[in-house]
Amino acid sequence: MVNAGKESVMQNQLELLLKLQVIDYDLGELERSKEYLPDMMGNLRREIEESQNRYDTAVKELDEARVKQNNLEIDVEAKEADLQKFQQQMMSIKTNREYDALVSEIDNVKETISNKETELLETIELATELEKNIAEYQEKLEQVKENNNRQLAILQEKIDSIGDKTSGKKDERKQLTTAIPKPVMSVYERVRKGKGGAAVVSVKHRACGACYKALTPKKIQDIRKADRILTCDNCGRLLYWDDKESH
Ligand SMILES: [Zn+2]
């Protein structure tokens, strides 16, 4: 009877320790989330910004292309007027020298017109391409904004609730630790702080589930009996037998 009572007390302590371990994991996760949630939000905001910049840049480039197109059209028109004027002057040529000079002027103005027209065509092509891109970028921008702002709101809610969640978990922890004997708690705390991660691990393949150090049959027997808390000789973690995991 005494023995059975001892075992169930141990079983109870083990359950409390495992619960404590889950709470400590959650607390650690809440602490880590103070770093990674703002990072995630930064990435989402940056993505919106990049999408906005790409759109704004294309709009600006289109404006510039339109201005350039307009200026080229004006230039071409002016040069064509010059050409007409020179061609009319051809009718009243008196000397060979005058003729040569005028032909040279006409050739020049023709070349200028040709160059300007080539540039004009390229500018119109660029504007068409930009218009197409702008429509695409705008659609993409709307999508990114909608999606990322929704995620940002969720992450902000998470950040806002860290404080409450943490104090809730700390209250739970306090209640649990009062039910665990002090010597057991000090082993647990020492291992948790020293090793990080889980301080209570199940036996796996007849070895410590954390450092994989093989356990003697006697030790395994004692762990299975669960009448006192046993630790791994190698890493110091608290060991327990789990019927589902331990073999
Ligand atoms: Zn170990």
Q: Residue 212 domain-assigned?
A: no
pLDDT of residue 226: 78
Structure tokens at 115: 């160059």
Q: Residue 210 domain-assigned?
A: no
pLDDT: which is higher, 184 or 79? 79
Q: Is the pLDDT of residue 124 over 50?
A: yes
Going from the Cα of 213 to the center of ligand 1, the distance in angstroms, rounded, reads 6
In sequence order, the 6+-apart residues with CB closer than 8 A to the CB of 141 are 48, 51, 52, 54, 55
Going from the Cα of 225 to the center of ligand 1, the distance in angstroms, rounded, reads 19
CATH number, residue 73:
1.10.287.1490
Domain that holds residue 90: 32-165
Going from the Cα of 9 to the center of ligand 1, the distance in angstroms, rounded, reads 24
pLDDT of residue 6: 67
pLDDT of residue 175: 95
pLDDT of residue 5: 65
pLDDT of residue 1: 39
* Residue recorded with tokens 């619960």: 19
Q: Residue 3 domain-assigned?
A: no
The answer to whether 36 and 203 are in contact (CB under 8 A) is: no
Going from the Cα of 106 to the center of ligand 1, the distance in angstroms, rounded, reads 95
Q: Residue 226 domain-assigned?
A: no
Phi-psi region of 79 (alpha: psi -120 to 50; beta: other; left: phi over 0): alpha
Going from the Cα of 207 to the center of ligand 1, the distance in angstroms, rounded, reads 8
When divided into structural domains, the chain yields a total of 1
Q: Which residues surround ligand 1, an ion (CB under 5 A)?
A: 208, 210-211, 213, 232, 234-235
What is the average per-residue pLDDT within 4-22? 83
Q: Is the pLDDT of residue 169 over 70?
A: yes
Confidence grade of residue 247 (pLDDT, cut at 50, 70, 90): low
Going from the Cα of 180 to the center of ligand 1, the distance in angstroms, rounded, reads 22
